[in-house]
Each structure stands twice: as C-alpha cells, then as structure tokens.
Structure 1
Amino acid sequence: MRGRYGRQGSSQTRARTGARTRARTRTRAWAALIAAGALALTACGGDGDATRGGPSTGPEQKGPTVQLPKLPGEKLEVSAVWTGPEQANFAKVLKEFEKRTGATVAFVPAQDPIVTFLGTKIAGGQPPDVALLPQVGALVAAVRNKWAQPAGPEATAQLEANYSPGWRQLGAVEGTQYGVYYKAANKSLVWYNAKAFEAAGVKPPKTWKELIAAADTLSASGTPAVSVAGADGWTLTDWFENVYLSQAGPEKYDRLAKHEIKWTDDSVKEALTTLGELFGRKDFLAGGTSGALATEFPKSVTQTFTGGERPAAAMVFEGDFVGVNIAQTEAKVGEDALVFPFPAVGAKAPVVSGGDVAVALKPSKGAQALLTFLASADAARIQAGQGGFVSPNKAVDLAAYPNDIQRGIAKALIAAGDDFRFDMSDQAPAAFGATPGTGEWKALQDFLANPSDVAGTQARLEADAAKAFGN
C-alpha cells in the first residue's frame, strides 16, 4: 500500500490506458459501494438512532474448510507491524495453525518502514518465514529484491475460490501471485461518541459543510469535535486522501497516486484548503494543534470513548480497525460508539480501502502452509470474531463478525467486488508515502501545525514525490 499499485503494465501507454479503463469501470460501481456502506452503517446506528442490542455471539464454529499438512517440530516466524490488541487477536489465528499442523509459530514485531526492517533481517540471514506487509509497494520491493516466494498451488487455489480478481491482482507482481490479502480496511469512516453527540444535539453529518457545522456546535458545547492522531503521519494521509477523492474525483486520484500530475496541481491546493477548514480551528481539535501533533493513533481512539458525556473529543476518523482500540475502553460498539461514512466533500462520498498482504519469504513447506491458511475462511473467521477486523475473503460468513456495525462494513466490502480505491500513500514508494519523519507523513504533519501554508506544503510534497518517484 505505500508503494506502486501491484501489477505493472508493460509500458507507460498501456498502464495509462488500463488506468483509464479501470477508472471508468470502478466509477460505475463507486456510488453503489457508497450507498451500500452508508445503508449498512445507518442500519447500525449511523444516523444517530443506534440499535441497542448487545453484540452477536456469532455462529457455532464450523469445521475446517482447508486441509493443512502436518509439520511436527517445524518452527516458523511471522512479522507484521501490528501491536497491542491487533497482534493479540492475530495470535489466536496462529494458535489454531499450530494446533492443526504441529508447528510452532513465533510473532516477530516489525517497524515501519517494513522494507527496511526486512532488509536488515535478510542481510543478517534471519528473514521471517512469512511477513504481512502494510503497503502494496512493500510487496513489489520484496519481489524486486528477490526476497519473496511465489504462492504455491494450495494458497493459489484458496485465493481463486475465496477472493475477487481485484484482491488477487493486488497480491500479484507482473502476473505472478505472491501475496494473500489477509486483512482489508474501509478507511472512510468516522466513529463518534453517542453521548457527546446527544448532549450537543448533533446528528451525523453527510457533507463536509455539515461536518464543519457539527464540529462548531460540538466545540461550542465544551467537547472538542475531533481527535486527530497527528503524531502518526499515516492518519493524516488518510484524511487528505478522503477529501481529495471526494473533491477531485477518482480519475485524478489515480493520476496523483502515480505522480502523473504534480502535487502543485490546483486539485491538491483545493483539498488542502478544505482540510485546513478543520485543522485550522484549534478549538475543533482535542488538545489543540499541539495536542493533535502529540497524539498517537491508539490514544486518538481511546480518548474519544472515555469520559462519559465529556470525552476529550466527540469524533475520531479512521478505518474499521478502530474497533480494536474501542474494545480497550468501556464503550460498546453499536451503542456508545457509533459510526458514519466519511462526509461527501464533492458530489460523492469517498471510499478508500487498505489492507495487509501476507507473503512467504522462505521456500519452506511451513511458509506455504501458513500462506494457505491465511487465504482460507478458517483463519479469517477466527480474527473476525474478535472485532476490529475485516476480511476481503468472500467465503467468511458475515455472522462471524461480533456486531452489526462490523457485519455492515464487511458486507459493503464484499459487495463492492473490485470497485474500490486503494490508499494513495500506500501506492507510493515507501520513501514518500510510508516513512516516519519524511515525505508525505512529515509534510502533512507540518501542514497540521500550520494549515495556512498550503503553497509551502504543496511545494514540499512535490519535491519529495519527484525524488521518490524518480521524475
């Protein structure tokens, strides 16, 4: 995701023609996805009238749907940038793999940028057997560096049975299947504290103008409107991408993602100016500007759902995985913590997706077995039941998800098929879109600190992008 889009064309002309064709095809179903997502969320309380029932316990556990080899005594390592409850939930998946195969699996925490982390491990002769990469570009880099192993026939069979062509293609490089998209994300959601909204008399906004008006009302009532995780630059790229996709449209989004248009383009100016309407109001931000810049993502969520009617903020923007962090508070998803689609800035509300792709880094039977398991509904069902997780695996029963909100998000993702826009910064080279303290992350943190400097932000973004893309 923070690198080029996966499959590469054989020439610039072919790539651009393909991009235009994909843009036209995806645009037709774009509105359908938005409608499906909005409908699902509204049914779960996204309009402020929440369903007050407790979370579903889900279906009885089904038997295995994928056969795995016996691997007694084999030791495997898996790396990902996951921490905290997300890592703990994934550990339950690995435990099931161990139970079925007799192998032992150790989780090795990785750091961003993961390509640098893996490069160090490989140079030291200690690569993990499997890595879950949070960027399309990281997969491309792993293949070009000759680190990655092609997916075996068993994993490929699971992919063909369970995944749409678009998700399979995202895990392929130059026509060869390497990766399994184990985890997906809807990154166009705003989660809100139901009590704070009720106390201020605010309803979920459907447009950017309504969002700013709601933020004004909330802040005037004594509760800052938004908790922004400015200490983590990736969250700021997600803010920008949602505004840009809705305002500039999908075709320009695709072109900017490939650096076919410059960051000094007027469309970028318009998006930053719009985003500045929110970031430029210190009273809208939990802790003001300095507080936002010091807030990491987990805290941005937890501080929104603690404090009763007077939390640190009334809303927090991020993907469906926010549910994992809400679970660390006393708030209940679907009751205290509700969600609405990212408001429309232009004619259509945005839908930005992301995900984590599993790739084998060792030519071992164990690595391929784990890849096969992660491509199965069996593995996804386990983590789906923990919350804060959505799978692009269409064979996962929606009843596996623990509440109506998660089911609605998952249903909208599967219904979308191949019609989604992938996280823009995740399509860029890691030096621009996926490295703390540099590139887009740093430029947007500087913008959060000084939202009036639109031209300066554009100039820095373009200089860094040109260097990273080599043009």
Structure 2
Amino acid sequence: MMRRRTTLLTSCTALALALGATACGGGPVTAGGGDKALSGQTVTVAGVWSGSEQKNFQKVLDAFTAKTGAKTQFVSTGDNVSTVVGSKIEGGNAPDVVMVPQVGVLQQFAKKGWLKPLSPTAEQTVDADFAPVWKKYGSVGGTLYGLYFKAAHKSTVWYSPGALAQAGVKPPKTYDEMLKAGHTVSDSGLAAFAVAGQDGWTLTDWFENIYLSQAGPEKYDALAAHKLKWTDASVVRALTTLGKLFKDKQLIAGGQKEALNTDFPSSVEKVFGPKPEAGMVYEGDFVAGVAHDQFQKTIGKDANFFPFPAVGGGTAPVVSGGDAAVVLKDGKNAKAGMKLLEYLTTPEAAAVWAKAGGFLSPNKKLDLAAYGDDVTRATAKSLVGAGDSVRFDMSDQAPAAFGGTKGAGEWKLLQDFLRDPSDPKGTAAELEAAAAKAYQD
C-alpha cells in the first residue's frame, strides 16, 4: 500500500518530451563493457513501475543492451514488492535485479540474506559521484547493497504564477512568510492551499518537511529510526506548527472537511484545473507531471514551484524518496545483473530517462542539460545541491504498519489531526503508541 502512492503519482510525471533514448556522451561505458561482452545473456529486472515509468525505464534497459549485448526482461511486481519477490525466490524464479522503492524494504531484503553486495566498481562510482547520504540509505550493516537510480524531490511547493501575481505576492522564503502570502492570496479570491487530506501520505510529507527544518537532521534521523519518541517536545512543536495551517479556514480550499475528501490528483486540479480554487499545492516534483499531462499546463509558465521554506529559523528542508537497484543472490544471471547496476551508476544511463522526462537523478555527474525543461533542471539542481543534507521520506523508512497503511498508523492519525488540530500533545501520544507497536512487530 505504501508504494502505491509513488507508483501512481510518478507514473504521471513523464512530461511528453518525445526525445530519443540514446545516452549522452557517446563514448563507451566501462560499466558493463561496451564490447557486447554479454551477448546471449538475459537480465531479468523486477520493479513496481508501470505505464510511462516502465516505458522510460525500458529505454534505459535498451541502452544497456546496445552497450553490452545483454537482453533484458522487465517484470512489473505491482505494489507489494517484498511479497512478490519473496514468492519468486521460493519458487526458484528469482529476478536478477529488483528496483526497491523503500529503505525499509531494502533493509528487509538484506537481513533475509537475499542481496549481493555491490561490486567494487559500482561502489567506487557511488563514492565518487553520489552524496554520502545515498550510500547510507543503500547500505545495511555497513555493506552497500542498493544503488539509488531514481529520486523524488518532496520539498517543492507548486503554485499558479497567475494567482500569486494577482495577489501581488512573491514566492516566500520562510514558513511564516508562506502563511502570510497565503492570507493575501485568500483575500484576492482564492484559497491559499489545496490539501490532499484523503491521501494520508501527503500529510506525512507536510509533517516531515516541517520537522526536518524545525528540529534539524539529527532529530529527524532519530525519530525515523524510533530512537526518539513521538512524544518528544520537538514533535509536539512541529504538530503545533502544522496545526496553525490546518485550522485556518482562509488557507485551505474548502476547509478541513473538504481537504479530507480531496485526493492527490484532485488537489492538483484545484490549483491547475479549469476551475481553480487555490493558488498553491504542496507536494513533490511529480506535481508537474499531473499539471502538464492532465491539465495541459506549461511547466515554468503556467505552473512553477518554490522550495519548501525554512521553518522557525531552521534550514530549508530537502526530503526525498527514491528507487534503489539491488542484485539478488538467487537470480539466474546475477553476474550480468551486477553489470547492469554498474551501468546504472553512470551519468549516461541517467541521461536516457532524464531526456524522456519524469525523472530525477541523485548522480552529481549528470549534466543538468540532459533534463528537458528548466523547471526540472532547477528541481534536480536543488536535490543534488543539497548534498548530504537530503533526508529520505520518514514514513518510507518506518514499518508499513505505521508509515504506509491506509486507515492506520501515521496516515490515519494525521488525518484525525487535520480534522481536529486542537491537541498536538495528544496526537503525539497516539503517534508514539502506534509507532511503538509497529517497530516491535
């Protein structure tokens, strides 16, 4: 269930850029050869992607084939990667490579002994070309198992330039300025924000950005690992900050009740659809895909973003998500699978999907010119430029029972808080009770 949100959303993000699938640079890729050394071999890759995401990833796989001669076969797992992959391993039909959507699932696979450590070649490239934080999230017990090939930037606030211009406000630099600008937008005739409260995961993203900026990365890491209790004063403070937005009827389109009946695509429609109700919507870079594909908005002109602003004197947050490539020990062609991972570490591989759209790479060596539009370039620059201050989506690090289940855990409790934000301390206590149970199980 947790993964479904990313699958459905990021599959919306391929901005129809109809560009070719050839890798930039033109030179031979050392990872995986370039001399057709893998001719006659087939690499099986499993992942959650479908639709445009699967088509664009296939372009990357085709580029690998052109370099190495190896054929590839992509198997879509649907939402529950761990269950599907586990059953394939038990049935003696393990894929060679899996694109893993959550840190928690990667850790689960490693602890079950399913994964091969990345080759020295791949690890050297990760050390040289990726911020250390990506190696940290791909490692378990000090061993690197996962390569983060595709990332999401979840600290972007999307807005209608026309709505902000009509209100006479500019993109804010702080959270307080954002709420003040929201009131000005509201005074001009539109609500400030469309909030997708029907999808509990969007509320976790609101909380995570506020918490990371306000409490700082050390406490964020501790809370993500449940080494810090949710009853901590820093959590109550972040909930109080979030509650100021939730209870302000001027700021939320339709108020709390309507927000609880608004899913993510509908929240984007309230800003960029034919009958706008709000000037801004907070969510990740994938908002651009929905605005472009469903409402024919030109990104950069009709839809733009500003970074999620700094909260309470803290640093502006950069929260991310992503998909990590891992190699299974039981795959029939794990050796060729590792060659695919070595290829995926290269900027050439990332450039293939970057040109197609709907993609961000954490690879510092990828030329920003590979992206098809200025807004995506700006988003990618922000993600890569954040370096080691990037933090992975907290709910994706948690057990699914707490951080990724509809109608339960953090999703439900933050929906209850949106409905009635009057008791941040009580909500923190409920979050701690749910977290304690989930991390024990």
Q: Normalized against structure 2, the TM-score is what?
A: 0.84
Asked if structure 2 preserves the Cα contact closer than 8 Å seen for 1:225 and 1:314, the reply is yes
The 1:418–1:116 alpha-carbon spacing in structure 2 relative to 1, beyond 3 Å, is same
Share of identical aligned residues, percent? 52
Asked if structure 2 preserves the Cα contact closer than 8 Å seen for 1:187 and 1:351, the reply is yes
Question: Does 1:415 find its partner at 2:385?
Answer: yes
Cα distance in 1, alignment partners of residues 365 and 149 from structure 2? 13
Q: Alignment length, in residue pairs?
A: 413
SS in 1 for 2:388: coil
Pick from 60, 64, 71 the counterpart of residue 103 of structure 1.
71
Residue of structure 2 equivalent to 1:177 = 144
Superposition pairs of residues 130-209 of structure 1, within 5 angstroms: 130-209=97-176
The 1:322–1:195 alpha-carbon spacing in structure 2 relative to 1, beyond 3 Å, is same
The 1:266–1:418 alpha-carbon spacing in structure 2 relative to 1, beyond 3 Å, is closer
Asked if structure 1 preserves the Cα contact closer than 8 Å seen for 2:43 and 2:337, the reply is no
Residue of structure 2 equivalent to 1:330 = 296
Cα distance in 1, alignment partners of residues 91 and 291 from structure 2? 38
SS in 1 for 2:239: helix
Residue of structure 2 equivalent to 1:344 = 310
SS in 2 for 1:441: helix
Asked if structure 1 preserves the Cα contact closer than 8 Å seen for 2:97 and 2:325, the reply is yes
Pick from 340, 364, 388 the counterpart of residue 334 of structure 2.
364
SS in 2 for 1:231: coil
Superposition pairs of residues 248-327 of structure 1, within 5 angstroms: 248-307=215-274, 310-327=275-292
The 1:164–1:244 alpha-carbon spacing in structure 2 relative to 1, beyond 3 Å, is closer
Deviation per CA, 1:97-119: give whole Å up to 9, x if none: 3444341322404315x434433
Cα distance in 2, alignment partners of residues 149 and 302 from structure 1? 44
Residue of structure 1 equivalent to 2:354 = 384
Residue of structure 2 equivalent to 1:78 = 46
Question: Does 1:425 find its partner at 2:395?
Answer: yes
Question: Does 1:61 find its partner at 2:24?
Answer: yes
Instruction: Give the superposed CA RMSD.
Output: 2.9
Deviation per CA, 1:35-69: give whole Å up to 9, x if none: xxxxxxxxxxxxxxxxxxxx9x9999321552434
Q: Normalized against structure 1, the TM-score is what?
A: 0.79
Name the amino acid aligned to 1:425.
S
Name the amino acid aligned to 2:376.
Q
Cα distance in 1, alignment partners of residues 107 and 419 from structure 2? 33
Name the amino acid aligned to 2:354.
A
Asked if structure 2 preserves the Cα contact closer than 8 Å seen for 1:85 and 1:325, the reply is no
Asked if structure 1 preserves the Cα contact closer than 8 Å seen for 2:211 and 2:238, the reply is yes
Deviation per CA, 1:329-378: give whole Å up to 9, x if none: 31112111111111222112222233221112225234223222222212
How far is the alpha carbon of 1:399 from its aligned partner?
A: 0.9
Pick from 416, 419, 431 the counterpart of residue 449 of structure 1.
419
How far is the alpha carbon of 1:289 from its aligned partner?
A: 3.2
Residue of structure 1 equivalent to 2:8 = none
Cα distance in 2, alignment partners of residues 258 and 369 from structure 1? 33
Cα distance in 1, alignment partners of residues 280 and 156 from structure 2? 10
Deviation per CA, 1:139-180: give whole Å up to 9, x if none: 111101122222234433443443233322321212222110
Residue of structure 1 equivalent to 2:206 = 239
Residue of structure 2 equivalent to 1:45 = none
Asked if structure 2 preserves the Cα contact closer than 8 Å seen for 1:223 and 1:314, the reply is yes
SS in 2 for 1:354: strand
Residue of structure 2 equivalent to 1:49 = none
Cα distance in 1, alignment partners of residues 266 and 71 from structure 2? 36
Name the amino acid aligned to 1:211.
M
Cα distance in 2, alignment partners of residues 127 and 282 from structure 1? 52
How far is the alpha carbon of 1:222 from its aligned partner?
A: 3.2
Cα distance in 2, alignment partners of residues 210 and 164 from structure 1? 31
Q: Give the gaps of 5 or more residues in structure 1.
A: 3-54
Cα distance in 1, alignment partners of residues 218 and 128 from structure 2? 31
The 1:291–1:371 alpha-carbon spacing in structure 2 relative to 1, beyond 3 Å, is farther
The 1:262–1:196 alpha-carbon spacing in structure 2 relative to 1, beyond 3 Å, is same
SS in 1 for 2:73: strand
Name the amino acid aligned to 1:338.
N
Q: Give the gaps of 5 or more residues in structure 2.
A: 3-16
